[in-house]
Structure 1
Amino acid sequence: MKVGFIGTGSMGSMLLDAFIASGALMPQQIFASNRSLEKVNLLAQRHPGLNVCSSNVETVKNSDIVFLCVKPLQYKVLIDEIGNEVKPNQILVSITSPVQTHHLESVLTCKIAKIIPSITHLTLSGASLCMYGSRINAEDRLLLEKLLGFISRPLEIQESHVRITSDFSSCGPAFISFFLDQWIQAAVEMTGIGRENLTELAGEMLLGTGKLLTEGGFKPHELQERVAVPGGITAEALALLKQSLDGVFHQLISTTHAKYDEDLSKCNTLFGDSKT
């Protein structure tokens, strides 16, 4: 199997690195292109044997599966470039949430899937969100999910839920890291403890909490009840958080959805699509 990557920026290079680190792909199986050839050459230096392509068309011609890792408003130009080169048996995988599977199926003859990855895949963990176009068959799904299974837990979702699920799987690491960073900074300022010590402690705590929620059988509210003894320190602090964060998460969801709707509208315009 030969796998192509068009776009080797933050997410494209992350996926490529994770697939190689996990053993899912050898560098010789990968073909990659980018607007900046220097970025692809750097990846080839990191992964000797990786095939550097001078154009996106070259990547498509050499690949069975192609991951499209470009920004939403770059898709139409990219599709115009590679559209005549794709084959019906190829699988093109978009990793950009506002670009819809029906957008791509309307202008391409190949098989279309959409996968939303997460930076957590660098540690071969986290969920990858999977959505499939109408031409994807059961064998195609198994192929994609077997590949993604090396670096994540593949989860099929409805495309209409891509934004809210991405808030947790893809944006979530940044949100949680922001919370921890603010907490750590306050602790350093108020107690003089070293930042490195607390950062290490926070990471271990977060890892253990994740295992309790995924392997330990706990739901979030059950974990709170187990830790927070009535009248104790944790209970007092939770009461403060509940009061201080009242409405914040509704605002967070409204913010991410508003940006998504804005990008979706632009993509609809690009692809001449009146659907909302």
Structure 2
Amino acid sequence: MKVGFIGTGSMGSLLLEALIDSGSLAPNQVYASNRTPEKVIRLQQRHPGLHVCTSNAETAHNSDLIFLCVKPLQFKAILDEIGSTLRPDQMVISITSPVQIHHLESALCCKVAKIIPSVAHRVQSGVCLCMYGSRIKEEDRQLFEHLLSPISKPILIDESFVRITSDLSSCGPAFLSFFLDQWINAAVETTGMDRGELTWIAGEMLLGTGKLLTQGGFTPLELQKRVTVPGGITAEALALLDSSLTGVFHRLIATTHGKYKEDLEKCDAQFGGPGAD
């Protein structure tokens, strides 16, 4: 199987390298192009055998699966560029939430899918959200998820829930890192303890908490109760958090959904969909 990457920025390069480093792909199975060719050349230097393509159409022509790792408003131009080179047996995969399956199917003759990857795939972890177009057969899905399985846990979701699930799976590492960074900053300022040691402790705590939630049979509420002693230190701190964070997560969701709606309307306008004039 030959796999193409159009766009090798932050997430495109992360996905590409995770698949190679995990053994899911060999470098000589990968074709890649970028509007800044030097980025692909650097990837080739790290992964000898990787094919550097001089155009997006070349990447598309040589690949069975093509990941489109570009910003939402770049999609229409990319699809116009590669559309005539694609065959019905190929699969194009979007990795951005505002570009809809129906946008892709209206512009392309091939099979289409959409995933929302996570930075956690760099360490062969995290959930990969998967959505499939009407032309995808069961064997296509199995082959594709077999490719993703060494770096993630692929999960099928309804596209209507892409934003809220992305908040947790894709944005979540940034949100939790923000929380931990603020906490560590306060700890360093208050006690003078070494930042690196605190960061390591926090990371190990986060890793263990994740295992308790996914393997240990705990729900978040059950885990709070297991740690908390009535009238104890944890209980006092949880009460502070409860009063201080009232409504913040509803506002967070409103913010991410508001930005998503804005980007979706722009994509609809480009593709002549519901948001178009």
Structure 2 length-normalised TM? 0.99
Partner of 1:105: 105
1:197-234 Cα offsets, whole Å, 9 max, x none, are 10000000000000000000000000000001111100
- The aligned counterpart of 1:181 is 181
Question: For residue 147 of structure 2, what is the amino acid of its counterpart?
Answer: L
* Aligned residue number for residue 53 of structure 1: 53
State the alpha-carbon separation in 2 of the partners of residues 274 and 262 from structure 1. 13
Query: Amino acid of the residue matched to residue 38 of structure 2?
Result: E
Give the 5 Å matches for 1:222-233.
Answer: 222-233=222-233
Mapping 1:1-276, distance limit 5 Å:
1-274=1-274
Q: Quick check: 2:269–2:275 contact (8 Å CA) kept in 1?
A: no
Mapped partners of 2:15, 2:274: distance in 1: 32
Paired letter, 2:244: S
User: 3-state SS of the aligned residue for 1:17?
Assistant: helix
Distance in 1 (alpha carbons) for counterparts of 2:143 and 2:275: 30
Deviation, 1:192, is 0.6
**Equivalents in 2 of 1:30, 1:246: separation in Å?**
47
Q: Which amino acid aligns with 1:99?
A: V
Kindly provide the CA deviation profile for residues 159-185 of structure 1, in whole angstroms up to 9, marking residues without a partner as x.
Answer: 000000000000000000000000000
Q: CA deviation at 1:275?
A: 6.3
SS of corresponding position for 2:66: strand
After superposition, the C-alpha distances for 1:129-187 in whole angstroms (9 at most, x for unaligned) are: 00000000100100111111010000000000000000000000000000000000000
Q: Tell me how far apart the structure 2 counterparts of residues 143 and 230 of structure 1 sit (CA, whole Å).
A: 51
Letter in 1 for 2:163: R
Any idea what SS the aligned residue of 2:107 has? coil
Aligned identity (percent) is: 69
Q: Which amino acid aligns with 1:183?
A: W
Following the alignment from structure 1 to structure 2, what is the Cα–Cα distance between the partners of residues 175 and 33?
Answer: 31
Structure 2: unaligned runs, 5 residues or longer: none
Which consecutive residues of structure 1, in runs of 5 or more, have no partner in the other structure?
none
SS of the aligned residue for 1:23 comes to coil
Measured in 2, the distance between the counterparts of 1:221 and 1:158 equals 26
Contact 2:14 2:119 in 1 (8 A): yes
Query: Secondary structure at the residue paired with 1:240?
Result: helix
Q: Secondary structure at the match of 2:130?
A: strand
CA contact (8 A) 2:266 2:275 kept: no
1:274 Cα shift?
1.4
Aligned partners of 2:202 and 2:215: how far apart in 1? 19
Q: Deviations over 1:19-53 (max 9, x none)?
A: 01100000000000000000000000111110000
Question: Residue 131 of structure 2 aligns to which amino acid in structure 1?
Answer: M
* Matched residue SS, 1:74: helix
**Which amino acid in 1 is paired with 2:91?**
I
C-alpha contact 2:105 2:133 (8 A) present in aligned 1: yes
Give the length in aligned residue pairs: 276
Distance in 2, Cα, partners of 1:270 & 1:90? 24
- What RMSD over aligned residues (CA atoms) do the two structures have, in Å? 0.8
8 Å contact 2:4–2:63 — kept in the other structure? yes
